Chain A
């Protein structure tokens, strides 16, 4: 494994994070399912130093009772980044993590260089999308290719249930974050929005809205992927991350390599 699990303290409580690789720093913000050290994340450590923060309480870590909203979590992420990463870095969010990453980008524009929003949450217009309550349906919504889930990424049901509850607490039942929506035009980071063609959790309208309102943004559909794009199509995600983080807007240009 290319990552090392570390611990630090914020707001009087411990915070865990995985760190691996060397190079330009990237902050990775996980989904409601907690951290999965997926193949794209591991690939990224070959060119970047990756910090995958574990939101307190997720994945069996110690919860922080002071965290009760997205805003609280964004404040923690900001302090974590300032202390552990530096003044400016790239950010990748996954679903719930993309929601947090966007808030970080609007609140702290000087910190975020490139921004990647994987299957971003918080823009489920008209209540479309979302995770089904039924476990079997939920599983189907997450994966087109469940056989690709690596063993290390399979978590115990009680961990997953606890992650889900923590997410619900932070999300506060929001389907569209109106305050964030109003601030999208202020995003300064060069942004890449990634969506799965089979994703029923994040409706297509979310990606369209973000593309239209984030000033310098590009949107890519990943073919044959559901909500868990990093699991369903790891090579495609890995390539897009690498190209975008290396070349920014220029990643659209085929250099014939």
Chain B
């Protein structure tokens, strides 16, 4: 089993309840943000020495939820500060971006890191479409076209042009090309049937997050496997990544207390402003072709928000406890879902850095040795 040290880079000191998205930066000290970048990049660079196989970053806009508007900048820094961990960008929000720019930056990171990039191609969460003024109804078709264009840009040595529905480039020949051949491994989200189809077609790693219960997650994974077989391949555990928030402490009680406090900040401050904007997108656009998928997405968020830490552990939504408990929970996930990759968010909300550090130590000393061979 492999583990991704995934970071959202949250802003942990927001002392008001933000009422709207985008969130005002009034009163925020950017020197404090500068310190946070240093602290967070240090944590990520260190992760490979604490039993983590990957180090992961991602893209969000306009709120304290995450300070990584462009994860490729962080990945560029990690490329030279790490030597063995895969650098997983989970991921660039392709429909919002210039796909050729993504192809170029991802290729640079792959080359700079000596071939360690895992290339996340994500559609993003609904409200992000307001940030870059892209029609949400085009999200899926843009994702598909951008994905295929990027792969072409990575794999075609001779210059080419692209004449598509959303993108037109008369002449393309990116320098450099990725080191990994034919190209870096692609990771995509497949939390509903429509997205599973395309992920399977691209033979990408399937990412599953926001697990409400293990039964539903298992069903989504089984569906992905079935679709993949239709495309002539059989996904292995290495093709299935499951995302979880995690807290490891010296005792169960301590871990649960830290998680409860950090999640309160996560849900009430970091996630709060997005809800209205998210609803706006879901109500006024066809971000989801099937409205019931959108309703299900919001229901999952609400369910997770309203559950206690114990309920979340029981449901398989989070990993939390002493090293011994965490080992059991990871084994259960692996057995129930057949996943070979865990995307672990240790810095949850405003979790103190000392707790994050202790969690990393316990992972290295008492968790990784028990689960690495799974």
A interface residue numbers (CB < 8 A to B): 212, 215-216, 247, 249-250, 252-256
In the complex, the chain B residue whose C-beta lies closest to that of A249 is B280
- Shortest beta-carbon distance, B138 to chain A, in Å? 6
- Shortest beta-carbon distance, A255 to chain B, in Å? 6
Pull 5 A–B residue pairs with CB atoms less than 8 Å apart, ordered by A: A250-B283, A250-B284, A254-B136, A255-B137, A255-B285
Assess whether B306 is interfacial by the CB under 8 Å rule.
no
Contact with A along B304-338 (1 / 0, CB 8 A): 00000000000000000000000000000000000
- Shortest beta-carbon distance, A185 to chain B, in Å? 12
Tell me, in angstroms, the Cα distance from A254 to B283 when the chains sit together.
13
B284, A254: Cβ atoms under 8 Å? no
* A250 with B24, Cβ < 8 A, contacts A255-B135, A256-B135, A256-B138 known: no
B284, A247: Cβ atoms under 8 Å? yes
Contacts of B134 in A (CB 8 A): 254
Contacts of B26 in A (CB 8 A): 212
Contacts of B341 in A (CB 8 A): none
Q: A-side binding surface: helix, strand, loop or mixed?
A: loop
B280, A254: Cβ atoms under 8 Å? no
- Shortest beta-carbon distance, A188 to chain B, in Å? 15
B135, A254: Cβ atoms under 8 Å? yes
Tell me, in angstroms, the Cα distance from A252 to B130 when the chains sit together.
6
A253, B24: Cβ atoms under 8 Å? no
Size range of the chain B interface in the assembly:
10 to 19
**A254-B134, A254-B135 provided; 19 other pairs, C-beta below 8 A?**
A212-B24, A247-B284, A250-B284, A252-B130, A253-B129, A253-B130, A253-B280, A253-B281, A253-B284, A253-B285, A254-B129, A254-B130, A254-B133, A254-B136, A255-B284, A255-B285, A256-B135, A256-B137, A256-B138
Tell me, in angstroms, the Cα distance from A250 to B285 when the chains sit together.
10
Tell me, in angstroms, the Cα distance from A86 to B26 when the chains sit together.
39
The 4 lowest CB-CB distance pairs between A and B, nearest first, are A256-B135, A254-B135, A250-B284, A254-B133
- Shortest beta-carbon distance, A245 to chain B, in Å? 15
Among A215, A247, A250, the most chain B Cβ lie within 10 Å of the Cβ of: A250
- Shortest beta-carbon distance, A106 to chain B, in Å? 19
In the complex, the chain A residue whose C-beta lies closest to that of B283 is A250
Tell me, in angstroms, the Cα distance from A250 to B136 when the chains sit together.
13
Contacts of A249 in B (CB 8 A): 280
Contacts of B283 in A (CB 8 A): 250
B interface residue numbers (CB < 8 A to A): 19-20, 24, 26, 129-130, 133-138, 280-281, 283-285
Tell me, in angstroms, the Cα distance from A212 to B284 when the chains sit together.
26
In the complex, the chain A residue whose C-beta lies closest to that of B24 is A212
In the complex, the chain A residue whose C-beta lies closest to that of B137 is A256
A250 partner, pick from B19, B129, B280, beta carbons under 8 A: B280
- Shortest beta-carbon distance, A39 to chain B, in Å? 24
Contacts of B280 in A (CB 8 A): 249-250, 252-253
Tell me, in angstroms, the Cα distance from A253 to B286 when the chains sit together.
11
Contacts of B19 in A (CB 8 A): 215
Contacts of A254 in B (CB 8 A): 129-130, 133-136
- Shortest beta-carbon distance, A211 to chain B, in Å? 8
- Shortest beta-carbon distance, B2 to chain A, in Å? 38
Tell me, in angstroms, the Cα distance from A216 to B276 when the chains sit together.
12
Tell me, in angstroms, the Cα distance from A138 to B134 when the chains sit together.
39
Contacts of B136 in A (CB 8 A): 253-254
Tell me, in angstroms, the Cα distance from A256 to B24 when the chains sit together.
27
- Shortest beta-carbon distance, B283 to chain A, in Å? 8
Tell me, in angstroms, the Cα distance from A249 to B281 when the chains sit together.
11
Tell me, in angstroms, the Cα distance from A216 to B24 when the chains sit together.
13
In the complex, the chain B residue whose C-beta lies closest to that of A252 is B130
In the complex, the chain A residue whose C-beta lies closest to that of B277 is A252
Tell me, in angstroms, the Cα distance from A256 to B134 when the chains sit together.
8
- Shortest beta-carbon distance, A71 to chain B, in Å? 31
- Shortest beta-carbon distance, B93 to chain A, in Å? 15
Contacts of A253 in B (CB 8 A): 129-130, 136, 280-281, 284-285
Tell me, in angstroms, the Cα distance from A255 to B136 when the chains sit together.
7
- Shortest beta-carbon distance, A239 to chain B, in Å? 13
Contacts of A212 in B (CB 8 A): 24, 26
Tell me, in angstroms, the Cα distance from A200 to B138 when the chains sit together.
39
In the complex, the chain B residue whose C-beta lies closest to that of A247 is B284
- Shortest beta-carbon distance, A32 to chain B, in Å? 31
Tell me, in angstroms, the Cα distance from A63 to B283 when the chains sit together.
49
Tell me, in angstroms, the Cα distance from A112 to B134 when the chains sit together.
31
Contacts of A252 in B (CB 8 A): 130, 280
Contacts of A215 in B (CB 8 A): 19
- Shortest beta-carbon distance, B41 to chain A, in Å? 32
In the complex, the chain A residue whose C-beta lies closest to that of B136 is A253
- Shortest beta-carbon distance, A15 to chain B, in Å? 38
Tell me, in angstroms, the Cα distance from A256 to B139 when the chains sit together.
11
Tell me, in angstroms, the Cα distance from A249 to B27 when the chains sit together.
25
- Shortest beta-carbon distance, B20 to chain A, in Å? 8
- Shortest beta-carbon distance, B214 to chain A, in Å? 35
Tell me, in angstroms, the Cα distance from A247 to B26 when the chains sit together.
27
Tell me, in angstroms, the Cα distance from A252 to B129 when the chains sit together.
10
Among A247, A253, A254, the most chain B Cβ lie within 10 Å of the Cβ of: A253
Tell me, in angstroms, the Cα distance from A249 to B278 when the chains sit together.
12
Contacts of B130 in A (CB 8 A): 252-254
- Shortest beta-carbon distance, A98 to chain B, in Å? 21
Contacts of B138 in A (CB 8 A): 256
